[in-house]
């Protein structure tokens, strides 16, 4: 088991190097650089004319004229050796100041959604498998497909309009105005939790639906296997039997999903976050990409990738622990 974990961790290193490299290429891919976007933005509305000489000096100072590989090396070496993610042009602030708070909130929201997804999907999945083609199964399947089909952002908009029409309030944000700028306290935490459930449900809906289907299908495969019949013939109680054997095997995809559920939640959360006005990673990443704020965008993608890789590792370890066959192959 230990060897297995060590090998997986070693494999992470080249993966991460590759990710950081590709990230940087992708962020740099569009024509022009941040200063083009900046000049366009300044001239867009105010008729601000920007000194070309000044722009050239800025380009020099930010090292935007350097060859790609040098820019990459400067960026990545500062991150590795000094923990310095560079500077956001757009925000005029160190990237680390912007990064951690938002990443933190993103993961709180994502993990809450994940928890919601598991808590809802697991019992429903098991129920619909055992009571296949019952009325309950049909009802859950119907809502499952509905949840799968409705885009998150649309659901968010619909919920917001309903909340406006029925309750007369606009939901959105993760904090009430009075707590938005306040330091963390118990009251702020409570306020946060009160706001959390809306994005949690919206972001989780599609995944819930998908997981219900997966759980149901897997369990159905197992339920007809001979060992189930045998155990049943030997008088094993139905509840213990199902929970102990077929469910445990059907659980595998549930766990292996963990790794890729995280990035899906984060990217799915981007659009929803914009609509719901959440101070999470998605919206700021989007604007950073639009304005070619490369260090900010690059750092966000890098951190999210690292967390995804770690998520995959955790899910692999969990799987190996759950299912001995994986450990030995």
Site residues (vs another protein, CB under 8 A): 31-32, 36-37, 39-50, 54, 57-58, 61, 84, 87, 90-94, 96-98, 157, 160-161, 164, 168-170, 172-173, 175, 177, 180-181, 274-279, 283, 286-287
Alpha-carbon distance values, 176 to 18, 72, 278 (Å): 41, 40, 12
CA count, 13 A, side-chain hemisphere, 220: 14
Q: Measured from the CB atom, is 252 or 277 closer to another protein? A: 277
At residue 264, the 3 state secondary structure works out as helix
**Residue 61 φ then ψ, to 5°:** -65, -40
**CB neighbour class for 181 (10 Å; exposed up to 12, middle 13-18, buried from 19):** exposed
Q: Measured from the CB atom, is 50 or 108 closer to another protein? A: 50
- Least separation in angstroms between residue 34's CB and another protein is 11
Q: Measured from the CB atom, is 192 or 245 closer to another protein? A: 192
- Least separation in angstroms between residue 16's CB and another protein is 24
- Least separation in angstroms between residue 47's CB and another protein is 5
Q: Measured from the CB atom, is 173 or 314 closer to another protein? A: 173
Are residues 302 and 103 in contact, defined by beta-carbon separation less than 8 angstroms? no
Rounded Cα gap, residues 123 and 75, in angstroms: 47
Rounded Cα gap, residues 246 and 309, in angstroms: 29
CA count, 13 A, side-chain hemisphere, 245: 20
Rounded Cα gap, residues 278 and 110, in angstroms: 12
- Least separation in angstroms between residue 92's CB and another protein is 5
- Least separation in angstroms between residue 198's CB and another protein is 13
At residue 87, the 3 state secondary structure works out as strand
- Least separation in angstroms between residue 157's CB and another protein is 7
Q: Cα angle vertex 305, ends 301, 307, to 5°?
A: 120
Q: Measured from the CB atom, is 14 or 31 closer to another protein? A: 31
Q: Measured from the CB atom, is 43 or 134 closer to another protein? A: 43
- Least separation in angstroms between residue 64's CB and another protein is 13
Q: Measured from the CB atom, is 37 or 108 closer to another protein? A: 37
């Amino acid at each position: 088991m230990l060897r297995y974990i060590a090998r997986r961790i070693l494999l992470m290193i080249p993966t991460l190097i590759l990710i950081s490299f590709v990230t940087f290429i992708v962020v740099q891919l569009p024509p022009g650089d941040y200063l083009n976007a900046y000049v366009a933005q300044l001239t867009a509305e105010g008729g601000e004319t920007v000194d070309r000489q000044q722009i050239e000096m800025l380009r020099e100072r930010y090292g935007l004229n350097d060859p790609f590989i040098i820019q990459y090396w400067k960026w990545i070496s500062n991150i590795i050796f000094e923990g310095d993610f560079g500077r956001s042009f757009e925000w005029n602030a160190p990237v680390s100041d912007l990064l951690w708070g938002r990443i933190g909130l993103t993961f709180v929201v994502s993990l809450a959604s994940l928890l919601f997804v598991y808590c809802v999907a697991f019992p429903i999945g098991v129920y619909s498998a055992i009571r296949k083609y019952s009325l309950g199964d049909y009802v859950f399947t119907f809502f499952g497909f509905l949840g799968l089909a409705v885009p998150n952002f649309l659901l968010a908009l619909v919920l917001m309009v309903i909340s406006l029409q029925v309750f007369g309030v606009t939901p959105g944000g993760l904090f009430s105005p009075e707590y938005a700028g306040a330091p963390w306290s118990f009251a702020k935490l409570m306020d946060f939790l009160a706001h959390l459930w809306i994005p949690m449900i919206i972001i989780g809906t599609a995944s819930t639906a998908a997981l219900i289907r997966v759980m149901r299908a897997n369990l159905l495969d197992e339920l007809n296997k001979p060992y189930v019949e045998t155990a049943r013939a030997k008088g094993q109680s139905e509840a213990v039997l199902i929970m102990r054997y077929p469910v445990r095997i059907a659980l595998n995809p549930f766990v292996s999903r963990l790794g890729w559920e995280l990035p899906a939640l984060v990217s799915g959360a981007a659009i929803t976050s914009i609509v719901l006005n959440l101070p999470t990673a998605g919206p700021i990443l989007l604007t950073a990409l639009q304005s070619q704020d490369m260090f900010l965008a690059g750092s966000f993608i890098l951190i999210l990738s690292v967390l995804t890789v770690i998520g995959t590792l955790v899910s692999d370890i969990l799987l190996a622990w759950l299912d001995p066959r994986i450990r030995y192959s």
